Each structure stands twice: as structure tokens, then as C-alpha cells.
Amino acid sequence: MPASSSSPHLLIPFAGRSSPACREALPALRLPKLETLLSRLAQVNEDMQDENTLSPPHERALAAALGIPAADGQIPWAALEATQAGLRPTGENDSWGTATLCHWQVGIDDVVLGDPAAIRIDAAESDALLAVAKPYFEEDGIAVHASATPGRWLLQGRVFDGLATASIDRAIGHPIGQWSPLADGARSLRRLQNEMQMLLYTERVNDERAARGVPPINSFWLSGTGRLPSSFDGAPPEVADALRAPALRDDAAAWAEAWAQLDAGPVAKLLAACTAGAEVVLTLCGDRGARRFGVQQRGLSRWAKSLFQRASAPTVLEAL
């Protein structure tokens, strides 16, 4: 069940990370505010999957908080963003997907998806590439719309209805074949993706990027596919996303520093609200699962006893 709309809710993606460097850094984390907050809360929900789900735990947890039911790989983030932007369906079609411009790193044995945030796509580049790519998408019955974020386009077409796709947060740093859609309905999209690779290779935008010494934009990643339910009711939590970039790089030092700042900032704020009597909610997400914690009413003696039985913050994070 989603948290109450009146409950301050903090959701932390990548709070736990199974990559080697971040996992090694876990035992040394010193998070006093988180420790205190966890000692005052009780686990009220757990969503444990595995690292092969198309939708990572933080996306599943956010969808649950918003009251959006969805199958794995079909959380309709693009449709939600389109609705918030005031875009309307064309005809009877209201299925959407997100195309994120990116750089595919071609190696000897495989092709790896790089983090789009690391290649710094600006609005002018995104708009220029959208102008040349749009006719190719439209030939396949897909309408293309710019979004508020440079390098991210909103796609509208029947092909996205019921199509499961992997979150880009799952795919970054991994061979693309591991996460690309395999369904029959994705064949036309894979062909379109191949066409885009050839088109982007010849574009002036990439010539200019090469002159600046930055990676070319040579493909796009499809995610956030699906149809938004006719109604949903949930309060959006505060999403503290500072751990994402260092976690995806497996940069243990930066990840630990980001955790220290979260502990002194958003976590400390939530602890203060809890101390003041608010019914706070904390959701911690890792690669395998998400755990939601809330205030549990209990007698003083039982609460005091729980302080000695509570697992440490690193232990809680390691289990994610």
C-alpha cells in the first residue's frame, strides 16, 4: 500500500550496491542519523527480487508510492511524463516510451552502454538530432516529442503497449545484449535503432563533439514503456538521487561521500520530523530489493528493547 499523503516519505535509490568497490566500502560507512532513524522505525514492507528484473527496486518502490501498478519492465514513466507535460494521445493511442540518447562503447567482444549523464548532451544537440531522426520514427508510426531533459525524447506509438524494456539504470555499464528487448514486438524497434546508429554516425553534431574530444551520440536506449492507468492515487516521495552516479561508476569513495551528505541532509531532516512526531516513511533501495520503514506504535519497554536488537545501518544496506 502507498504511504499516506500526509507522511513525509524519503526514497533513496542505490542505498545498497552489490558492485565490488561499493560493497567493500559498506562496513566502513558511518551514518549516525540513519542509525538513529532506523532505531525508531520498523520495517513495514519488503520487495526482494533479483538483479535480473528489468525494473530496478527504486523504480518499483516509486511506482508503488504513486499507486501505479505495473508488470516488470512496464512501469509507464514516459506516459506519466507526457501527461505531466500536457501531451495528449494521438487518436486512440496512449502508449509511450522514453528514448535516451547515449553512447555505446564498442569493445572487442561486446558493446557496453555508457551513462548518458556522463557525455553531457545539451539542448541544441538534442533538438538537432530530433529534427533529423523524427521522420524515421514517424515512418514506423511513432510520434516523437522533446522532453524537458536534453537527450531524452518521449515516443508515442502502439508498439509500446505491453512491451517490457529494461530501465537504463539496469543497463548502464553492461553489454547491451543482456538488457535489450527480445520480444517479437521489438523487432521493428531494433531495426529503427540500427537505422539511428547509421544516421547519427554522419551527423554534424557528432563531428563537433569529436572536435571537442567528447564521446559521440551513437544510439538511444528505450525504457519506461507502457500505458498509464486511467487512475492512480499516491503521494510522490522525496527521491534523494545523489548515490546514483557514483554507484553506477562503482566509485566507492564518491558513493561513501554522497552517503555522508545524505545522512547529514535529507536523512537528518526526516529524523527531525520523526522526533517531532510525524508519521515518517523511509524507503531504502539496492540492486535486489527495497525495504520501507515506518513508525510503529509500541510500548516504551518494547521500543527500548528493540534498540539493542536493531541491525546496524551497513547491515541493513548490505541486505539490499
Q: From residue 225, how far is each of 29, 81, 96, 109, 190 by CA, in Å? A: 36, 11, 6, 29, 15
Tracing cell 557514483 back to the chain, one arrives at 246
Residue 231 main-chain phi, psi, to 5 deg = -150, 145
End-to-end CA distance of the chain: give it in Å, rounded: 20
**Tens of each residue's pLDDT in the chain, 320 residues:** 455 556 899 999 999 999 999 999 999 999 999 999 999 999 999 999 988 899 999 999 999 999 999 999 999 999 999 999 998 766 566 899 999 999 998 877 788 999 998 888 999 999 999 999 999 999 999 999 999 999 999 999 999 999 999 999 999 999 988 888 766 667 788 888 889 888 988 899 999 999 999 999 999 999 999 999 888 888 899 999 999 999 999 999 999 999 999 999 999 999 999 999 999 999 999 999 999 999 976 554 444 444 444 668 999 999 99
- Please give the pLDDT value at position 258: 98
Residue 145 CB neighbour total at 10 angstroms: 16
Beta strands at 289-295 and 41-48: parallel, antiparallel or unpaired: antiparallel
Distance (Å, whole) CA 12 – CA 246:
14
All three cell numbers of 259, joined, read 552517503
- Please give the pLDDT value at position 3: 54
Helix runs in the chain, H state only = 20-25, 32-40, 57-66, 77-84, 123-139, 168-171, 187-201, 204-212, 244-249, 252-262, 268-275, 300-309, 313-318
- Please give the pLDDT value at position 305: 43
Q: Tell me the whole-structure pTM to 2 decimals.
A: 0.91
Residue among 191, 99, 101 at smallest CA distance from 145:
99
- Please give the pLDDT value at position 37: 96
The answer to whether 101 touches 220, Cβ cutoff 8 Å, is yes
